Amino acid sequence: MIGPVVTVIDYGIGNLLNVVRALEHCGADVTVVSKATQVSELPDRLVLPGVGAFIGGMQEMCHRGFDDLVKRFAATERPFLGICVGAQMLFDFGEEHGEHAGLGLIPGRVQQVPRMTPAGGVHRIPHIGWSELQRPTACLDWAESPLARMPERGTVYFVHSYAPVPTDDAHRLADTYYDGVRICAAVGKGNIWGCQFHPERSGENGLGVLRSFIAL
């Protein structure tokens, strides 16, 4: 029996194998595409993984024609999930290694995680490890989102130096706190979702995110 079809974008930079294995473990029938020309029709569900620098990801996305594909897909009501740098590229601009344009699907910028804590101390960057997710005040609930199965204050795995800062708090799906510093951990706008954390490396909580995405 074939499960729900999920198309994963391979732009040469990303934790592709782990994402594919996790999606398959969750029951998806996964197709990987490395050029936009391989996609004759817009897929049912689209996943954009990513590690590394914002600018490197955007350059490869544009080179392979995926920037236009993602923008056309965003205009549908079909589910899209960006992971880590894949989530960051959804925003207007990234500030890593200078200012660079993103896909512009969610208003906001990608900025460095502050090195100073609210208490005036200095903590390690990148932010690496397990952190709790908290629902922001502007987010009423996580129903009908990839976090639908996430327990309150469930922990997930992060490894990053930059994070998105949405212009509109309504697009903040979840936050986490690193030594008191508020970090946007997940975003959502319409059918477009993004996780700064790595669901494929987050145990059962992460698999729950992928299962909820597949079910959307």
* Residue 17, number of CB atoms within 10 A of its CB: 11
Between CA 109 and CA 4 the distance in angstroms is 33
Catalytic annotation on 26? no
Catalytic annotation on 84? yes
Which residue is catalytic, options 100, 139, 195, 200? Answer: 200
What SS3 class is residue 62?
A: helix
Q: Do 58 and 64 meet the contact criterion of CB atoms below 8 Å apart?
A: no
Catalytic annotation on 198? yes
Which residue is catalytic, options 84, 139, 184, 195? Answer: 84
Is the four-CA dihedral 70, 72, 75, 80 of positive or negative sign? negative
> Which pair of structure tokens corresponds to residue 101?
């344009």
Which residue is catalytic, options 100, 160, 171, 198? Answer: 198
Q: What values do phi and psi take at 179, rounded to 5?
A: 55, 40
What SS3 class is residue 85?
A: helix
Q: What type of residue is 136?
A: P
Provide the annotated active-site residues.
84, 198, 200
